[in-house]
Amino acid sequence: MESHHGETVPAVAVIVVAAGSGTRLGRARPKAFVEIAGRSILERSMDAVSGMSETATVVVVVPDALVADARAALAAAGGAPVIVVPGGDTRQKSVAAGIAVLPEGTGIVLVHDAARAFTPSAVFDRVVSTVRSSGNGAIPGLPVTDTIKSVGDDGVVQATVDRSTLVAVQTPQGFPRAHIVEAYARAAGDFTDDAALVREAGHPVAVVPGDARAFKITTADDLERADDLLRRQGMNQTSIRTGLGVDAHAFDVDAELWLAGLHWPGEAGLAGHSDGDVVAHAICDALLGAAGLGDLGSRFGTSAPELAGAHGDVFLRRTRDILAAAGFTVGNVSVQLVGNRPRFAPRKAEADALLSALLGAPVSVSATTTDGLGFAGRGEGLTAIATALVTLTITA
């Protein structure tokens, strides 16, 4: 996919595997079609996919006998069109059926268990952003909290396993398309997750933070847990707030340029008490404003000697921590840089990845000029305008 500024942004596809029978759940219907409080497990999973920050192609893999029903139900639910295909008799075969119908131009593939019906959309975004910035696979995982034992056939404990290197992995699992296509083409044997195949094919896979709500509905107890979660969500109120931040600095030809947290060798710098990084400063103002927690000036005034010459990442980390301490979660940030130089597009992906990692949420920076108008058009300085979305959950 070609972006406004000419750089290539890999298009994302999500394969939702929903073709399992749900033997361990023990219901008459295949598991993904079992309802929780009036909506099927599959429909609830689709909510998380629709909540992703970027639009993805969605492929849903269902039992052969339910393809027509699923097509009708998903079309009736509205939203973007979904490709529905029949699965196989193992999860791996169902994923392979989804891979076979991926459209041309897909660059990043996420595979998600429909059975993880309450996975927050932020987990999908986190996986996409890590695959995009690293060029390798990424899977969500949680630390193992129980003591783990290996046990012999006789039921007697053999050893205590060191859990410090263990992680319980979830979905969505994301990969560059070439890695997962190669891994499935070479698959020898049946594996329980996609990362295992991709590792077998020799590609690295990173673990990113998972989420307790991404638990897999496997047994009847898990259905009860799902009911409880819905009840608790009904009692919690999430407040969504947006904020706007604007910053401008004049060029200083004797200074080094730091912009969007990056060093730009050979470019004129920006004048200021700190390093003048307008992108970082506008983001901080947008975040603080959204949370009603002041602004850059009141939080990090020019009287603070330790902030003289400070780089943008210092302000971003501090702002992130101020919001987290007050209970806010950053949803996403969008920034537009206004000015003639530097040419931003070649380093957009690098800037987005750095800022997203700093804030733990998707950040997208774009750039534009003013057709020669105003101080930016005359090449006297730079402006950045940022918007931020933050959420605050109040538990009743």
Ligand X SMILES: C[C@](O)(CO)[C@H](O)COP(=O)(O)O
Ligand Y SMILES: Nc1ccn([C@@H]2O[C@H](COP(=O)(O)OP(=O)(O)OP(=O)(O)O)[C@@H](O)[C@H]2O)c(=O)n1
Binding residues (CB under 6 A) for ligand X: these are 91, 113, 169-171, 192-193, 216
* Binding residue numbers for a divalent metal cation: 247, 249, 281
**Least distance from C-beta 146 to ligand X, angstroms?**
16
**Least distance from C-beta 349 to ligand Y, angstroms?**
32
End-to-end CA distance of the chain: 44
Q: Where are the beta strands (DSSP E) in 8-74?
A: 11-17, 35-36, 39-40, 57-62
Q: Which of residues 32-51 bind ligand Y (CB under 6 A)?
A: 32
Counting contacts by CB under 6 A, is residue 94 touching ligand Y? yes
**Least distance from C-beta 77 to ligand Y, angstroms?**
18
Counting contacts by CB under 6 A, is residue 82 touching ligand Y? no
User: Closer to ligand Y at the Cβ: 17 or 290?
Assistant: 17
Q: Which of residues 112-171 bind ligand Y (CB under 6 A)?
A: 113-115
The Cβ of residue 225 has, within 10 Å, a number of other Cβ atoms equal to 15
Counting contacts by CB under 6 A, is residue 21 touching ligand Y? yes
Of residues 175, 141, 144, 173, the one with CA closest to residue 161: 144
User: Closer to ligand Y at the Cβ: 5 or 39?
Assistant: 39
| 190 close to 159: Cβ distance less than 8 angstroms | no
Strand 137-143 with 167-169, pairing: antiparallel
Strand 381-395 with 35-36, pairing: unpaired
Stretch that binds ligand Y, among 84-92, 196-204, 298-306, 382-390 (CB under 6 A): 84-92
Counting contacts by CB under 6 A, is residue 18 touching ligand Y? yes
Of residues 380, 384, 383, 385, the one with CA closest to residue 250: 380
Query: 54 exposed, middle or buried (CB, 10 Å; 0-12, 13-18, 19+)?
Result: middle
SS3 8: strand
The Cβ of residue 114 has, within 10 Å, a number of other Cβ atoms equal to 28
* Binding residue numbers: 247-249, 273-274, 281, 295-297, 368-371, 375, 378
For ligand Y, the nearest residue by Cβ is 20
Counting contacts by CB under 6 A, is residue 29 touching ligand Y? no
SS3 115: coil
Q: Which does 170 bind (CB under 5 to 8 A by kind): ligand X, ligand Y, none?
A: ligand X
Q: Which of residues 203-222 bind ligand Y (CB under 6 A)?
A: 216, 218
User: Closer to ligand Y at the Cβ: 32 or 74?
Assistant: 32
d(CA 169, CA 211): 10
Residue count, binding to ligand Y (CB under 6 A): 22
d(CA 117, CA 140): 15
Residues lying near ligand Y in the complex (CB under 6 A) are found at 17-24, 31-32, 61, 87-91, 94, 113-115, 216, 218
